[in-house]
Amino acid sequence: MTTPTPESPLIIPPTGNHTASVIFCHGLGDTGEGWRPITDTLSKDLPHVKWVLPHAPTGEVTAHNKKSMPRWFDIVSYDFESAAEDRSEIMMAARMIDEFIQREVDAGVPPERVVVGGFSQGAAAVLLAGLTSRPEDGFAGGKEGWKLGGLVVLSGWLPLRNS
């Protein structure tokens, strides 16, 4: 297991007055850089948006013969109906996304002007971050859930859906 840490994300600054931020998390095996062409294109029509493209930490993926690759959390099997899930690791990924949201809020962007999205495994982590409360211990600003501008889930799933 790896401990997720918020590395320096790829930042695509706004070309106009910064009034909103989009945090977009890549899928398994990718990096934030893989989404740069899309954000470069969208930035032209959304000059007020700052794009934050985090990079997942590298760790073993059980479903890929324990191959080491960028991942938000381990995937034991692609049989999502019966595969075991590591709750603590999945929640760590969600809390890491909270940290990226908190950085935008601390920079003066209201949470309702922050959109968080992801693709595949990044979408799963983002969905969980958007639907769960932050811990009471103050981690990432703590205590209550986010009231975000929106969640974008592309080819994702809801991890820990039974709990």
**Is 161 within the bounds of a domain?**
no
Domain that holds residue 144: 10-32+65-154
pLDDT value for 138: 46
Structure confidence by residue, pLDDT tens digits, 31-79: 999 999 999 999 999 999 999 999 999 999 999 999 999 999 999 888 8
Please report the pLDDT score of residue 143 as a whole number.
56
Q: Does residue 83 belong to any structural domain of this protein?
A: yes
- 3-state DSSP call for residue 88? helix
Cα(42)–Cα(86) distance, integer angstroms:
35
Which pTM does this prediction carry? 0.89
pLDDT tens string 110-145: 999 999 999 999 999 999 998 886 665 544 445 567
CA separation for the pair 42, 46 (Å, rounded)? 6
156 within 8 A of 93, measured Cβ to Cβ: no
- Domain membership flag for residue 100: yes
Alpha helix positions (H), 59-120? 87-106
Nearest to 50 by CA among 107, 125, 1: 107
Please check whether residue 3 lies inside any domain of the structure.
no
Comparison of pLDDT for 157 and 137, the residue scoring more: 157
Cα–Cα distance list, 120 to 29, 48, 124, 140 (Å): 11, 26, 6, 24
Q: Total structural domains in the chain? A: 1
* Residue 103 within a domain: yes
108 domain residue, yes or no: yes
Q: Is 114 in a helix, a strand, or coil? A: strand
Residue 97's φ and ψ, nearest 5 degrees, are -65, -35
Q: In this predicted structure, what is the pLDDT of residue 7?
A: 66
Output the domain CATH number for residue 26.
3.40.50.1820
In a domain, 55, yes or no: no
pLDDT value at position 78? Answer: 86
